Amino acid sequence: MTAQQSPNPSSLRTRFTYRFLRALKELNKHRSATSWPSYRRVKVAADASMAAAVKSRRAWTRAVLRKIRRGHRSPRWNRPLATRELRRKIRRNHGGNPRKIRGSHGDFGQTNELRKLVPGGESMEISSLLGETAHYIKCLSTQVQVMRDLVDLYSSTPTS
Amino acid sequence: MKNDLVCAHIDKLVASHDSSVENVIIYIGEQQTTMGTEDSGDMRFPHRSDDSILNCPNSLSEKVAGVAMSSAGSMFKPSNRADPFFGSGWDPLISLSQGENFGGSSVVPRGDFSNPAYPVGLENQAGSTTSHLVHYGEMMPKLPCFVSGSFAEMVNSFGLPECGQVPSSGCPPNYPQNKEGGTEKASTNGAHSQEEDGASPKWRRKRRASESHSPFSSNKNAEGEHDRDPSGDSSEYAKEQDGKKQKNEHNIGLNLRGKQSGKQAKDSSNSGEAPKDDYIHVRAKRGQATNSHSLAERVRRERISERMRLLQELVPGCNKITGKAVMLDEIINYVQSLQQQVEFLSMKLATVNPEINIDIERILSKDVLHSRGSDAAILGFGPGLSSSHPYSQGSLPNIASTTQPFHPMPQVLIPRFHDI
Q: How confident is the model over B325-382, as pLDDT tens digits?
A: 888 888 889 999 999 999 988 888 887 766 655 555 565 556 655 555 434 333 334 3
At residue B397, does pLDDT exceed 50? no
Q: Which of B335, B348, B361 sits opposite A118 (nearest CB)?
A: B335
Mean pLDDT of B254-282: 48
* A9 touching chain B per CB within 8 A: no
Burial of B341 (0-12, 13-18, 19+ CB in 10 A): buried
Domain range list for chain A: 12-156
CB contact under 8 A, B350 and A36: yes
Round to whole Å and give the CA distance between A139 and B376.
Answer: 21
Global model pTM greater than 0.80:
no
Residues of A in contact with B366 (CB under 8 A): 7
Q: What is the mean pLDDT of chain B?
A: 52
The answer to whether the CB atoms of A4 and B348 lie below 8 A apart is no
Instruction: Tell me the average pLDDT across B264-285.
Output: 53
Select from B298, B300, B321, B328 the residue whose CB has the most chain A CBs within 10 Å, as the one to mutate to test that interface.
B328
**CA distances to A27, A48, A51, B306 from A42, in Å:** 8, 10, 14, 36
- pLDDT recorded at residue A147: 87
Angle between helices B292-314 and A126-156 (to 10 degrees): 10
Contact between B372 and A147 using a beta-carbon 8 Å cutoff? no
**Closest-approach residue (CA) in chain A for B412:** A157
Q: Which of B9-18, B114-123, B330-339 has the lowest mean pLDDT?
A: B114-123
B324–A127 CB contact, under 8 Å:
no
| Better-scored residue on pLDDT, A22 or B76 | A22
pLDDT for residue B186 is more than 60 = no
pLDDT(A126) > 50: yes
Decide if B338 and A156 are in contact by the 8 Å CB cutoff: no
Q: Which residues contact A7 (CB under 8 A, 6 or more apart)?
A: A13, A14, B366, B369, B370
Check CB contact of A38 with chain B, cutoff 8 Å: yes
ipTM of this predicted structure: 0.79
pLDDT in tens, B23-56: 444 444 444 444 444 444 444 444 444 444 444 4
A160 has a pLDDT exceeding 60: no
User: Cα separation of B316 and B200, whole Å?
Assistant: 33
H helix runs in B315-405, sequence order: 324-352, 358-370, 374-379, 395-401
pLDDT at B337: 92
DSSP state of B354: G
**Chain B, nearest residue to A31 by Cα:** B354
Cβ–Cβ below 8 Å for A156 and B351: no
Higher pLDDT among residues B294 and B104, named by residue: B294
Contact A140, B338 (CB under 8 A): yes
**Is the Cβ pair B336, A148 closer than 8 Å?**
no
CB contact under 8 A, B372 and A39: no
User: What Cα–Cα distance (Å) separates residue A30 from each residue in A33, A36, A146, B405?
Assistant: 9, 10, 23, 30
Chain B interface disruption, residue of A133, A142, A143, most B CBs within 10 A: A133
